[in-house]
Every structure is written in C-alpha cells, then in structure tokens.
Chains A and B, each alone.
Chain A
Amino acid sequence: QVQLVESGGGVVQPGRSLRLSCAASGFTFSLYGMHWVRQAPGKGLEWVSVISYDGSNKYYGDSVKGRFTISRDNSINTLYLETNSLRLEDTAVYFCAKEDGYGNFSNWGQGTLVTVSS
C-alpha cells in the first residue's frame, strides 16, 4: 500500500536551514506530482509547494517563495524540501502528500515537526 514517511524535522535557530525528506513506497513515485503542506501548532493547513512528476514544474506558497526549494529524486523515490532562512513563523508540522491528478491529494505522510527557536 502507499506509504509516505517524512523525516528531517527538528529544532533550528532562526536564519538557519533544514532539509526535509519524504520517502515514498507502494506506488510508482515517478508518475505522480507531490506536495508539501504544513500546519503550525493549533492552526489550520497551509499549502507550501508542489513539484510535477518529472520535476520540471514547481510552485510555491507566497510565504515561502524564495526561501524554500522543492525537489525530488525519482531514482530513490524521495521528495525533498530545502528550507532556508527559517523564521519563527515556519514552525509547523510538515506533511508530504501524493496527488493522483486533478487536485486529488489521495495519500499523506504522518508529518515531521520543524521548530524554529532561538
């Protein structure tokens, strides 16, 4: 069955960087677009970024544009989110999600917590 496992979260100081990973299994990873969505403590969901199945197209939310970079390695079925210049307001659980097409976010990982704190 489809499995998405995020990792790489932790406690980091403002201005520093962190790379998040999402290991995929149970489906042909190279055929699907993938998303990152985050959720600050006690808050709602915020869409972060998307990458197309082949990595040729990428889009970002306004709050992370220019600071975060999404990428993927289809040879090892892994999605990444490079988070740079982190701010206190980037503190959140970061989820990866598989899109089955037409906005169908069919599967989600369990999330990884990023805490930005001095």
Chain B
Amino acid sequence: DIQMTQSPSSLSASVGDRVTITCRASQGISNSLAWFQQTPGKAPKSLIYAASSLQSGVPSKFSGSGSGTDFTLTISSLQPEDFATYYCQQYDSYPYTFGQGTKLENK
C-alpha cells in the first residue's frame, strides 16, 4: 500500500498569513493527489484534485502543486473559516490512502 505522510501534523498561524502543507507519497503517484478540508463534526470538503486542479466553488486562495512523490497545499491570506484539518489522499492505486492530517490552528 502507498503511505502518505503529511507535515507538519499541526500548524499555528494568524489571519492574513500564507501557509503551506506538505504531503509525501511512499512511491510515485504521478499527479493522483487530492486535498480535503474538514472542520469538527462535518464531512470533508474537496479542495483540490489531480494535484493542482481547484474543485468547483473553492476560492483561488487555495492552490496545490507537485507530482511524483512530493506535493504541497498552499493557502494564502488565511481567514477565520480556514482554520480546520487538512488531508491529502492518493488515488493512484487501490487501496486509496489518506495522510494523517494537518491541524491548522489560529495563533
């Protein structure tokens, strides 16, 4: 199975900051990488798929990049609603696997 490792596991930032979350795959997955946002008690929300394609309706302050084994999610100009947990997921091969999550907290 492909292992997905996110860093950092938690991140403290302030409104207006720009943050970057990293996701590394244990083997190459081309661009088969998605990013999700989840707030407590809610379902995950799709942000990015195919490593860099923005999901419909998601603001352009979210951006993704990478290919192969190393990927990043960047959020520019943090707003209060952006403080949440973020997950990467590979869908290159079954079983699909998620990263352990990055909790973004308000400093």
Contacts and interface: CB of A to CB of B under 8 A. Distances in A.
Interface of A: 35, 37, 44-47, 50, 59-62, 95, 102-111
B87 A45 contact: yes
A85 to B, nearest CB: 19
A20 to B, nearest CB: 15
A103 B98 contact: no
A37 B34 CA distance: 14
Nearest to B101: A44
Contacts of B95: 47, 59-62
Most buried by A among B36, B56, B89, B91: B91
A50 B46 contact: no
Contacts of B101: 44-45
Dominant secondary structure at the A interface: strand
Dominant secondary structure at the B interface: loop
Interface of B: 1, 32, 34, 36, 38, 42-46, 49-50, 53, 55-56, 87, 89, 91, 94-101
Nearest to B99: A44
B43 A109 contact: yes
Contact of A47 (B42, B97, B100): B97
Contacts of A108: 43-46
B68 to A, nearest CB: 16
Contacts of B94: 50, 59
Nearest to A105: B46
B1 A104 contact: no
17 contacts: A44-B98, A44-B99, A44-B100, A45-B38, A45-B87, A47-B89, A47-B95, A47-B96, A47-B97, A59-B94, A60-B95, A61-B95, A62-B1, A103-B91, A105-B44, A106-B55, A108-B43
